[in-house]
């Protein structure tokens, strides 16, 4: 998958909270005596770890493709992991060909084409919310069960980016990029959530793409290190991403059971 460099997409995005968000961590330098602090970087700004974003998107893509009658693996038994190979001994001596999910998010023994960086909040502001654990039998508060939870408030903007290696797939130009961005659109359309306490109203977010930069091996050869930039909302962006999405749909159709 990575024996040669064809191109790289750098996707810049904002993640905007639509409700209070809590993604917990240790070692916070936030308010004292908070039972459940938010995760922060070394400059004390709240962050959403890239691993958390990737996990949410990967699971969503697994479910989507199964709904489209496409066979995909399931975490932790991803393609070419030791347990997966025991279940698919016929694939041991064949060319490596991960499922469509692993073609974007990586598999056993294969690095992930999508490398999602931590998203960092633009402000340090947080809020403290009271919580209490409920006894399911008595439906009353458990003794000594009150706790404080720190959250990032609604309207906070986290900024980050993703790099996507070798964007074509099965001969379809930019299909891998089209699959990733189509997944983001679906996530937004279905009120995507992240973090802790989703069932209690926390964690509703929206991912806003700002721009996509494409850098090819030919760009490197010609000294064009900034590649080609497609700004969200422009006709060039809509045309380019539309073609990439169509290429992805072609790949999905070809993989149906």
Count Cβ atoms within 10 A of the Cβ of residue 249 and give its class: 0-12 exposed, 13-18 middle, 19 or more buried: middle
pLDDT higher than 70, residue 1: no
Counted residue by residue, the chain has a size of 257
pLDDT higher than 70, residue 252: yes
User: Which pLDDT does position 145 carry in this prediction?
Assistant: 62
The string of pLDDT tens digits covering residues 128-169 is: 987 656 656 656 556 656 778 899 999 999 999 999 999 999
* Domain residue extents for the chain: 7-254
* H or E element in which residue 196 lies: none
The string of pLDDT tens digits covering residues 187-239 is: 999 878 999 888 888 999 999 999 999 999 999 999 999 999 999 999 999 99
Are the C-beta atoms of 209 and 184 separated by less than 8 Å?
yes
Cα–Cα distance measured from residue 247 to residue 170, given in angstroms and rounded to the nearest whole number: 10
The string of pLDDT tens digits covering residues 19-77 is: 999 998 654 555 556 888 999 999 999 999 999 999 999 999 999 999 999 999 988 88
Q: What is the pTM of this model?
A: 0.89
């Amino acid at each position: 998958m990575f024996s040669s460099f064809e191109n790289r997409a750098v996707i810049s995005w904002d993640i905007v909270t639509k409700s209070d968000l809590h993604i917990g961590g240790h070692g916070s330098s936030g308010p004292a005596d908070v039972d459940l602090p938010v995760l922060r970087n070394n400059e004390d700004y709240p962050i959403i770890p890239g691993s958390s974003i990737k996990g949410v998107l990967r699971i969503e893509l697994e479910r989507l493709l199964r709904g489209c009658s496409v066979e995909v693996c399931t975490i932790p038994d991803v393609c070419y992991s030791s347990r997966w190979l025991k279940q698919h001994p016929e694939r041991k001596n064949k060319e490596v060909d991960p499922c469509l999910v692993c073609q974007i998010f990586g598999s056993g023994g294969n690095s992930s084409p999508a490398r999602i960086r931590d998203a960092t909040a633009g402000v340090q502001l947080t809020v403290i919310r009271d919580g209490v654990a409920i006894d399911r039998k008595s439906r009353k508060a458990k003794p000594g069960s009150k706790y404080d939870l720190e959250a990032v408030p609604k309207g906070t903007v986290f900024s980050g980016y993703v790099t996507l290696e070798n964007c074509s797939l099965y001969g379809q130009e930019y299909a891998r990029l089209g699959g990733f961005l189509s997944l983001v659109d679906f996530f937004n359309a279905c009120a995507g959530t992240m973090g802790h306490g989703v069932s209690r109203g926390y964690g509703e977010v929206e991912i806003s793409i700002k721009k996509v930069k494409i850098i090819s091996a030919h760009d490197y050869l010609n000294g064009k290190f900034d590649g080609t930039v497609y700004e969200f909302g422009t006709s060039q962006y809509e045309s380019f991403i539309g073609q990439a999405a169509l290429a992805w749909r072609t790949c999905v159709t070809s993989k149906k059971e």
